[in-house]
Structure 1
Amino acid sequence: MIFDSLDVSYGDMWGSHQGMTHPAPLSRAVAARRHAAGMEYAVLLSSRERPLALVESWPRGKWRVYLFDDRSWRMQMIDFKPHRTGMLLAHRNTRWQFSTERERSSFKWDVQETTTVLADGLVEMRTEFAGPRGASTQPLHARTSDRSSVGPEPVPVRLFPAPVEDFLCPAPEFGDWQVFAPFLAQQGHEPATTVVLNDVSVDEGSGPLRATEIEQLFSSGACDTPDGPAVVEPVDAGLLRITSGRLAVSDPGWIGEPRTVAVPPGEFLVTLSLLRTTYGVDVAAAKVTFSDIPPREWEMALRPDEDLGLLGEGEFYGVGVDTGTVAFMDATRAVIEDELDEDLFIPLDGRFTVELPGAESEPNLIAFRAGRGDGSYPVWIGRTDDGQVGCVVVDFQLHSSGAEE
């Protein structure tokens, strides 16, 4: 296939391996800001509505390029790293062979060939053969001619000298995707003398996720959800004691980098929003209230190094959950990990919330189930007319699909 133009679109890198389109598209402007900030994003290069390459930008100047063949199968992966100023080294090149579309979709390759540029001027080519999953990795002739040997055969490896210049390309500035065009020839796609880039990126739309109808999360009564009709039931989860003036929101099993909010010291009510559906009862949201005055505006709880301008449509920075649990606590509250199973996680199997008390006037911790499990969830700060923090809410997004309503 000879091409003289490439259609360019952008998306979130994480999840880009799942197919030939972007699961989470980004505008060109957001992708450019991520590039300038050294953040991850993905670029899809297509021609005549067929994917040719998926380019991923990694931190510290690293890049990864997936190449598609004329069947739109992803057959090759090239890893680049900075070599010297303004240049990239294609230090690892992996190719796959698949027998059928079904095996390709489940990534059950028959042959995997990996070429690695070594530091001593040599290039290593390693070829692996795979039968059914779990079978020995060995050359094809060994699998068919010698059935008496025990254990896997060594993986065939070939070493040969090659100048490093053969594996260099310019490090791209943002939008300079022609630098990867020569690599497309490795899958039979020949670039013309001049290749024109056509931007087909989405616009910025309404931007990052915004807080909508947060108050309704804690209003008793019937509501509609993606799972059908449901009933909201607010319940008290106890009083949270803050002594340092900093509220922390975190998975209690991973409190190294909590989301923190400056709040007044004192004791404040924690409220859970239970959502009853045909699937059962889940914690849809949790709130700690610092003022009786209703909030007039909402903002996302951000860390100092987070920039809303780097988020795409409907995206957010949130609290990460790996134990199915979130907690409100004072930022100085210590957690003894060895005691969490007995004191917190096991009791939460039969309850929605658990309190870990503090000694005397020391801060406590109130933990609760995180919606329907692990993931990342937005934390919203509700501010009153005078800018004070009225409440902090964790939304587990059971009332919506996670995008702005």
Structure 2
Amino acid sequence: MSRALAARKHAAGRDYAVLLSARERPLALVERWPRRMWRVYLFDDRSWRTRMIDLKPHGTGMLLAQRNTRWQFSGEQQHSYGKWDVQETTTVSADGQVEVRSEFAGPRGTPAESLHDRASGPSSIPVRRFAAPVEDFLCPVPEFGDWQVFAPLLAQQGHEPGTTVVLNDVSVDEGSGPLRATGIEQLLSPGPCGTPNGPAVVEPVDAGLLRITSGQLAVSDPGWTGNPRIVAVPAGEFPVTLSLLRTARGVDVAAARVTFLDVPPREWEMALRPDEDLELLGDGRFYGVGVDTGTAAFMDAARTVNEDQLDEDVFLPLDGDGRLSVELPGPEPQPNLIAFRAGQGDGTYPVWIGRTDDGQVGCVVVDFQLRSADGAQ
């Protein structure tokens, strides 16, 4: 990501990562985590990642290197598979109590002490405990770009002395910003089109009427309805349309739309949660609906889902019966649920709100990203 984007994430308390390198060789990967925590991975002269340091806020206002894990590998293949010979973990308490625990791999690359041994009796892993000045494990909290504070950690790895390390940013192209809603209308336009996998034909089909009573549409995986994408919409019954994409390999659902006004949208916007910020997205990235059951759904935000019904009434018809959509009705006048296959399976997919000239919600579209949204052939 660009420096500007990382700076915005830093200011917002969001996670990001910075790679520190010298002469095109990695020195450290610095990860900024939420809740003011940091993690630093250190690399040796072979560019192997051999140390991991977790830092957390300390009462002094600085960062405490609470956990420092070091690995030794017997060869390149063992390193690539993460099969260490020795793992040494140093943990430090807030008052400077230090514990150093060394583990040695068994004959097959696993710790010599089994989980059963650890749980059922005294540990055979060598452990050293001692007190040390806590100041030895503290470092300042970096301002954005002030990676010099991590120079002493680089010195621990045997790189240049910390006092002579100069860390410079490498400029990165800002790119075109978050994913844009270009050509969404073409996702549901019938006729031939191009896809990354070759020619295809788009066929819009009716998936029924969605009943909204609360004035809020929820877009979610029907098996995971705890944190849906919510859009304020009018109450009533509204048509749901699926865009089927027919290729030589078969038929998939390329997009799903619920239409509230029979008016072409003037503009499109990404459906966001209150804590989401487009300024924090990288080039071509998006916030979307997560799918973990291969299925997505439109429903009223007040609609509850009985998980015992899902296998028989939703997942089996969509999977075993080969159907592309299914309605889970509610007793009149309660809202129903319309579920449909999510493209080619699990993932995260953008949800777009189409607004009319006067700002009303005309439709909501889920794009399963099986073809280019700009209609390119």
Give the counterpart letter for 2:25 in structure 1: R
| Alpha-carbon shift at residue 121 of structure 1 (Å) | 3.7
Mapped partners of 1:246, 1:83: distance in 2? 44
Task: Work out whether 1:298 is the aligned partner of 2:273.
Answer: no
* Equivalent runs, 1:192-207 vs 2, <5 Å: 193-207=163-177
What's 1:99 paired with?
74
Is residue 299 of structure 2 the alignment partner of residue 333 of structure 1? no
Mapped partners of 1:339, 1:35: distance in 2: 44
Question: How far apart in 1 are the matches of 2:167 and 2:110?
Answer: 45
Aligned to 2:118: none
CA distance in 2, matches of 1:304, 1:292: 28
Of 67, 85, 92 in structure 2, the residue corresponding to residue 117 of structure 1 is 92
Q: Kindly tell me: are residues 216 and 61 of structure 1, through their superposed partners in 2, closer, same or farther at Cα, counting changes over 3 Å?
A: same
Change (3 A) 1:108 1:208: same
Q: Which residue of 2 aligns with 1:144?
A: none
Summarize the alignment of residues 308-347 of structure 1 with structure 2, pairs less than 5 Å apart: 308-347=278-317
1:201-225 CA-to-partner distances (Å, cap 9, x unmatched) read: 3232221110121111112222221
Distance in 2, matches of 1:391 and 1:94, equals 52
Unaligned segments of structure 1, at least 5 residues: 1-25, 140-150
Q: How far apart in 1 are the matches of 2:356 and 2:188? A: 18
Structure 1 residues 288 and 117, CA gap change in structure 2 (3 angstroms): same
Structure-1 residue corresponding to 2:192: 222
Structure 2 distance, partners of 1:111, 1:379, is 47
* Superposition deviation, residue 135 in structure 1: 4.7
Q: Structure 2 vs 1, CA of residues 136 and 45 (structure 1 numbering), >3 Å: closer, same or farther? A: closer
Cα distance change of structure 1 residues 167 and 264 upon mapping to structure 2, 3 Å threshold: same
Query: Which of 271, 282, 286 is residue 252 of structure 2 equivalent to?
Result: 282
Residue 278 to residue 82, structure 1, CA distance change in 2 (3 Å): same
Q: Deviations over 1:371-401 (max 9, x none)?
A: 1222211100011112111110011111149
Question: What is the one-letter code of the residue matched to 2:125?
Answer: V
Q: Which of 344, 347, 355 is matched with 2:327 structurally?
A: 355
**Structure 2 length-normalised TM:** 0.92
Q: Distance in 1 between matches of 2:35 and 2:134?
A: 21
1:231 to 2:201 alignment = yes
| Greater CA drift, 267-276 or 358-367 | 267-276
- Match in the other structure for 2:117: none
What is the percent sequence identity of the aligned residues? 79
> Residue 174 of structure 1: SS of its match in structure 2?
coil
Aligned to 2:156: 186
Alignment partner of 1:232: what SS?
strand
**Secondary structure at the residue paired with 2:166?**
strand
2:105 to 110, 126, 130: 130
Q: Where do 1:165-180 residues align within 5 Å?
A: 165-180=135-150
Instruction: Choose from 28, 40, 55 the match for 1:65.
Output: 40
Q: In the alignment, which residue of structure 1 is the partner of 2:224?
A: 254
| In structure 1, distance between residues paired with 2:345 and 2:133 | 51
Figure out how many residues of one structure are paired with residues of the other and give that number: 368
Q: Secondary structure at the match of 1:84?
A: coil
In the alignment, the residues of structure 2 paired with residue 155 and residue 220 of structure 1 have an alpha-carbon distance, to the nearest angstrom, of 66
What corresponds to 1:80 in structure 2? 55
Residue 120 of structure 1 and its aligned partner are, at CA, apart by: 6.0
Cα displacement (A) at 1:159:
1.5
Whichever residue aligns with residue 307 of structure 2, its letter is E
Q: Secondary structure, in 3 states, of the residue corresponding to 2:167?
A: strand
Give the partner amino acid of 1:202: V
Decide whether the 8 Å contact of 2:294 with 2:346 is kept in 1.
Answer: yes
Give me the whole-angstrom Cα distance separating, in 1, the residues matched to 2:324 and 2:108. 42
Q: Which secondary structure does the structure 2 equivalent of 1:80 belong to?
A: strand
Q: 1:366 maps to what in 2?
A: 338
**What RMSD in Å do the two structures reach over aligned CA positions?**
2.2
Distance 1:120 1:358 in 2: 59
Query: Does the Cα contact within 8 Å between 1:138 and 1:152 map onto a contact in 2?
Result: no
Question: Distance in 2 between the 1:243 and 1:235 partners?
Answer: 24
Retained in 2: the 8 A contact 1:300–1:378?
A: yes
CA distance in 2, matches of 1:333, 1:75: 50
Which digits, 9 at most, give the CA deviation of each residue in 1:8-38, with x for residues without a partner? xxxxxxxxxxxxxxxxxx1111111111111
Please name the residue that 1:38 is paired with: 13
Q: Secondary structure at the match of 1:198?
A: coil
Aligned residue identity for 1:342: E
